[in-house]
Amino acid sequence: MRILLPGAIVGIVFGTLTFRYTSDAVLRALIGLLAVGFVLQRLLRRGQVHERQQPNVLKGTVCGALSGFASFIANAGGPPFLVYLVPQNLDKRVFAQTAILFFAVVNFVKILPYAWLGLFDAANLSTSLMLAPFAPVGFWLGREALARLDQVVFYRVVTFLVLLAGGNLLWSSRSLFIPA
């Protein structure tokens, strides 16, 4: 935690600058890359067994920074966080507590730069408010599903959707890569 968080702050600062100084097309491409990268990482790491790793300042800072950055631009800070923490084979409860605390701090810290960027305008906030009731619906559905549904199948379906959503964003920002 002490190793990951400073990195995350650096990542958030980079995220802020990216939001400030790049276009929507660049952001779409970045989010698309993150999404597609997430799916590829899932596919490649399947069934891989890790050697137990000790905490490492360099790896922790890099993963923390990537996590903060990905969290800032796409709420996708999870994967780099896992890359660092999973091989440490922490006790389940310690692991869960670290994850909850880390993302609580990261998400909280993000409020300030989002506000500074003018992202919390009336339109965005009222949209949030309108969509907010659906989050507990999802939470409830998830709890019900936990008892009844095959998690692996759901996981595959949503991972496929992530791939589609990411691919779609890359496609809509293709003009960045292929000059017209």
Partner 1 sequence: MHSALFYLAAIPAVVIMGMSKSGFGGSLGILAVPLLAAVISPAAAAAVLLPILI
End-to-end CA distance of the chain, in Å?
46
Crossing angle between the packed helical segments 57-74 and 78-85, to the nearest 10 degrees? 160
Q: Indicate whether 153 belongs to the interface with partner 1 (CB under 8 A).
A: no
Calpha distance 137→15 (Å, rounded):
30
| Interface stretch with partner 1, choices 47-55, 61-69, 74-82, 87-95 (CB under 8 A) | 74-82
Of the pair 57, 97, the CB lying nearest partner 1 is at: 97
Q: Indicate whether 116 belongs to the interface with partner 1 (CB under 8 A).
A: no
Of the pair 57, 149, the CB lying nearest partner 1 is at: 149
What's the DSSP call for residue 173?
T
The answer to whether 9 and 62 are in contact (CB under 8 A) is no
**Shortest approach of partner 1 to residue 125 CB, angstroms?**
7
**Shortest approach of partner 1 to residue 19 CB, angstroms?**
6
Binding mask 23-62 for partner 1 (x = CB under 8 A): -x--xx--xx-xx--x------------------------
Residues 6 or more apart in contact with residue 55 via CB below 8 angstroms: 3, 88
| Interface stretch with partner 1, choices 3-11, 48-56, 59-67, 78-86 (CB under 8 A) | 78-86
Nearest to 38 by CA among 169, 177, 180: 169
Phi, psi for 49 (deg, rounded to 5) = -105, 135
Calpha distance 172→151 (Å, rounded):
31
Q: Indicate whether 19 belongs to the interface with partner 1 (CB under 8 A).
A: yes
Q: Tell me if residue 49 falls in helix, strand or coil.
A: coil
Residues that bind partner 1 (CB under 8 A): 19, 24, 27-28, 31-32, 34-35, 38, 72-76, 78-79, 82, 107-108, 110-111, 114, 117, 119-120, 123-125, 127-128, 131-132, 134-143, 145-146, 149, 151, 154-155, 158-159, 161-162, 165-166, 168-169, 172
